[in-house]
Amino acid sequence: MLPRLTVSTQAVTNYTAGLPENDLSIQTTVSNSDLSDLAFNGVAKVNNTHFQSLDIFPKDNSSEDEYLDKFVYPGKDLNNNQFNDKLKQFFILSSSGKPIYSLNGGDELIIGFTGLITTIISSFQHQLNEDIVVIDSGDVKISVLNRDPLILVSISKINYEMSMNQITNDYQQLKNQLHSLYNYLLCILSRPTITKSFQNRMNYDLRKMLTDVDFKNLDDMAMKLTYGLSGDSDNDDSFEFFLSQLVNGFPTSKISYTIRSKLNSLLLHHRIDEILFGLLTSNLRRIITMIKPKVHNISNSDIDFLLRIIKNNNKNIKDIETEDLWIPICLPEFNSNGFVYVYVKTFDLAKILVIDGKYYEDSQLINIVLISTNKNNFFKVKEMANKIIENIIQLELKDKLYQELSNYTINLPPTINHFVYRDLKHKDLKQCLISNNPKDCNSIIKYVYYYSNLYNSKSSTIQSLTQESGNRKLSYIKYDVITFSIIDDNYEFYAIGSGELSDLISDGLKVVKWIKSNDKRFFGNVVKFNF
């Protein structure tokens, strides 16, 4: 039976009366003894507005599919008009103007742009000794990231990318997108490789070093970072990627504290000296546990690229269990000058669980990802991984782990359609919890629009909710839905919902409270050691 939630209306009254007298904590009575998910009765109201009727993109009377093909999805074989229809462009070129990558169009089409861009950039450099960052012409924004010998450029005509972030006073989203594409190149090539390639020949063609998969990955990232849509048709984790990049938090998983601690100590116990970072992930997507040295940090972006690159190398479930991977990768934010060696072993938890003489049908992949500083110690690392797997097989709680990983759904209160909670308390790894993701293009685009506006304008409509803890901030924007954020020192909570604002806030705070009461299951899954 689902536990039922009773809510006092006190907070609501307080809110509508102006400033609440006490802390805005809501009394919740949860008959929740078995520590399962907090469940809310009722189904979130489905919001039927289509993205084309919102003020996101230019108006056009075509169907959704036609619209997306015309304005959104990338195309390489386009004529000039088709190229100009696209709402977003990304280019990567060398300092001398040689095209390396373009989201849309072929070389002949973009060569004019690349020439123009290099001219503008160099004239700024020569006359003002400054790097150009954004060219703003009202409804078109051109952003530039100059990382000699590479130049990265984006051109955006998208409504939600036009506004400046009001906290950083910067076009944060556009800037982050270019940084991400640049970091991808660093990840696979490392900075010295790129620099050396151009050292002797200014007109070196960096594409020689890149493969079709790399260009596919760049397309995919460009699409996800802009629209929350995947470059191909599979939108499985594309929105999650967008949102986790926006709020800068790595999506977490819910695992009981006992199991997490067990797994953590397994990793620590078997760790060999050269292992710098060690992760157990589920499906190369969520971190179950992580070990790291006290003195070194690995950034969200580095983890994200790492898992993404492994995953792209590794799409077929069938053969990954037979392989041990050994992949040189540069972690650009950790050290852009060299490579680390990443060992990856994947095993299916379902195959080691036997219930009534039967195996589980649905596979649940666990990945052991071990980052080594020494390229020659593959066999030592492999031995370490084997010991960890052996120990997991012996683990009494492996059945529970399987259940927890496979039943990853979050129930929402009826007023809230979607939320993201970003934890600020645990400093070792920035993590966030995202409720179940939309999969259809229409919802994704709308959510991307709502969250972008909410995130960028978060300081514009602050109302102090309490007098005592004045640092808790509320912002909201009303459309046909309401988007709101609640932020204090320990968390940032962003949500989309419908109904009365006061109901939304009180339901939002209930979710926050529930997450906080499950803090150890969601966050703090990092263990440090002396390196």
Binding residues (CB under 8 A) for another protein: these are: 188-189, 193, 208-209, 211-213, 309-310, 312-316, 318-319, 322-329, 341-342, 375-380, 382
- By beta-carbon proximity to another protein, the closer residue of 283 and 312 is 312
Rounded least distance, CB 372 to another protein, Å? 10
- By beta-carbon proximity to another protein, the closer residue of 288 and 327 is 327
Q: Is 284 left (phi over 0), alpha (psi -120 to 50) or beta?
A: left
- By beta-carbon proximity to another protein, the closer residue of 56 and 329 is 329
Q: Which residue is associated with the tokens 């920035």?
A: 430
- For residue 250, give both structure tokens: 């790595």
- For residue 131, give both structure tokens: 């790097």
Can you name the residues that pair with 5 across neighbouring β-strands? Answer: 30
- By beta-carbon proximity to another protein, the closer residue of 45 and 380 is 380
Measured between alpha carbons, how far is 316 from 43 in angstroms, rounded to an integer?
A: 35
The H-or-E segment that residue 246 falls in is: helix 238-247
- By beta-carbon proximity to another protein, the closer residue of 55 and 383 is 383
Rounded least distance, CB 96 to another protein, Å? 21
Can you name the residues that pair with 252 across neighbouring β-strands? Answer: 287
Rounded least distance, CB 245 to another protein, Å? 22
Rounded least distance, CB 281 to another protein, Å? 17
CB 381 within 8 Å of CB 370:
yes
- By beta-carbon proximity to another protein, the closer residue of 199 and 258 is 199
- By beta-carbon proximity to another protein, the closer residue of 343 and 402 is 343
Q: Which residue is associated with the tokens 């790097």?
A: 131
Helix (H, G, I), strand (E, B) or coil at 361: coil
CA angle 348, 289, 370 (to 5 degrees): 75
Rounded least distance, CB 237 to another protein, Å? 17
Please say whether the dihedral angle defined by the alpha carbons of residues 400, 401, 406 and 412, taken in this order, is positive or negative: positive
Rounded least distance, CB 450 to another protein, Å? 34
Q: Which residue is associated with the tokens 């972006």?
A: 301
- By beta-carbon proximity to another protein, the closer residue of 152 and 327 is 327
- By beta-carbon proximity to another protein, the closer residue of 315 and 478 is 315
Measured between alpha carbons, how far is 424 from 488 in angstroms, rounded to an integer?
A: 9
Q: Which residue is associated with the tokens 């695992």?
A: 255
Task: Using DSSP bridges, classify how beta strands 250-251 and 358-359 pair: parallel, antiparallel or unpaired.
Answer: unpaired
Rounded least distance, CB 346 to another protein, Å? 11
Measured between alpha carbons, how far is 398 from 351 in angstroms, rounded to an integer?
A: 11
Count of CB atoms situated within 10 Å of the CB of 102: 26
CB 449 within 8 Å of CB 54:
yes
Rounded least distance, CB 382 to another protein, Å? 7
Rounded least distance, CB 312 to another protein, Å? 6
CB 257 within 8 Å of CB 494:
no
Task: Count each helix (H run) and each strand (E run) in the chain, helices first.
Answer: 17, 22
Rounded least distance, CB 367 to another protein, Å? 14
Longest dimension (CA), the chain: 77
The H-or-E segment that residue 492 falls in is: strand 491-497
- By beta-carbon proximity to another protein, the closer residue of 60 and 321 is 321
